[in-house]
Structure 1
Amino acid sequence: MATNSTPHIDPKGAPIAETILLPGDPLRAKFIAETYLDDPVCFNEVRNMLGFTGTYRGKPVSVMGTGMGIPSISLYSYELIHFFGVKNLIRVGSCGTVQPHIDTYDVVIAQGASHDSAYMEQYGLTGTYAPLSSWRLLSAAARVASERGVTHHVGNVFSSDIFYNADADHNTDWGKMGILAIEMESAGLFANAAHATHHLGYPVDALGIFTVSDNILKGTKTTPQERQTAFTTMIEIALEIA
């Protein structure tokens, strides 16, 4: 399964663990590696999409930036799964909630991911496919969040291709359908994992864990400094289930 390199990932002999955390920002990947992993080694610098492998409580764990949007995370997660044998992929990032009862700093754990992306068209399905996260990772993350007393919400998120939408009601309309929060990547990641599970013949698990950076309905936002602390809680949950 493992290969030497792909067009976008060149480990140069460095290991990539079967479990990986996937923040969008490559500098966030560097922060996670330097803060939480023992003996981190950089395994990728192609296009400055930094990736690192180390150990967390004695277990090999990798972390790598993915960029923004479904096309970007889908490209990297596909290569990680199919060429480097990664089996557990946990997206960690920020989200904007569209529910009045969810506050900034809360953690959202994605059970499923609705979307407005053309990415799913490649599978030739005759209906609308709603990719789900891994129940194994989902239940473990919810348990850890509960044990730590973290305010968290489990449910459906919306993976949007559009950050600046011309339709001002676009996000709030999704909130009326029970969507907890808006982000931009999980649907592609979950679909890649589901498709790989079938074609590779073994489970490939994926999950999204998010920190609420703003409430779109209330107009409340966190500052960059505040996000640093909020991200820490989310990252620790992800590492605990890694």
Structure 2
Amino acid sequence: MKDAFGTPQSLLVLGGSSEIGLATARRLVARRTRTVWLAGRPSPALEAAAAQLRDMGADARTVAFDALDSATHEMALGKVFAEGDIDMVLLAFGILGDQQHDEDQPLAAVRVAQTNYTGAVSAGLVCANALKNQGHGSLVVLSSVAGERARRANYIYGSSKAGLDAFAQGLGDALHTTGVHVMVVRPGFVRSKMTAGMTEAPLATTPDAVAAAIETGLRRRSETVWVPGALRIVMSALRHVPRPVFRKLPV
């Protein structure tokens, strides 16, 4: 159960080597989180992340999980919940893809969509049902401002995040009276390995800043969190820009 300050005692990170996921785990472990599950493809990076959390005092474990293998999600994640209640699930996996390449290689574009959307729908529902059966817990879903309005530069990635965002918002409504809290997090450009070498967008942020916003959102039981907060106003304006004008904007 969460403590009196709203900090989860146990955490499951889907996408266990995600920079935002690990930044969040470190931040929560530095508070009062004691049990952390890192779910991801087995790798030295996943084991190193767990070791780092153990060094901080957490009981950190790993579980094999592949976002693209939806048929295994119930079994893999069921093992985690069978070990005890989970106070918070962070859905942090996703891939950016390469827009120019993926337009010419449809199967590559499908992989982006399957990872970011269908894989997330599968894992999200498995975890949501487990949290519902517990009668408590938070499901935090990493969306993106890219899903707010499709842009020429990354509409494949953006459309996958738009689907994920809509799914998570609807799931939150469906679970509203069950004791389960769903929070959608919409970061802007995040300085990370995934965006290395890319031209930085205005209002860029960091994994640590996103982690701080997640912690604050949990404490407030927010339903939607923008990182940084100014993006709420920016994206509200961009949503209403006429399409002929929007096409000409350097976004």
TM-score range (shorter-chain normalised) is 0.3 to 0.5
Higher RCO, Cα 8 Å, sep 6+: 1
More strand, by proportion: 1
More helix, by proportion: 2
- With normalisation by structure 2, the TM-score equals 0.33
- With normalisation by structure 1, the TM-score equals 0.34
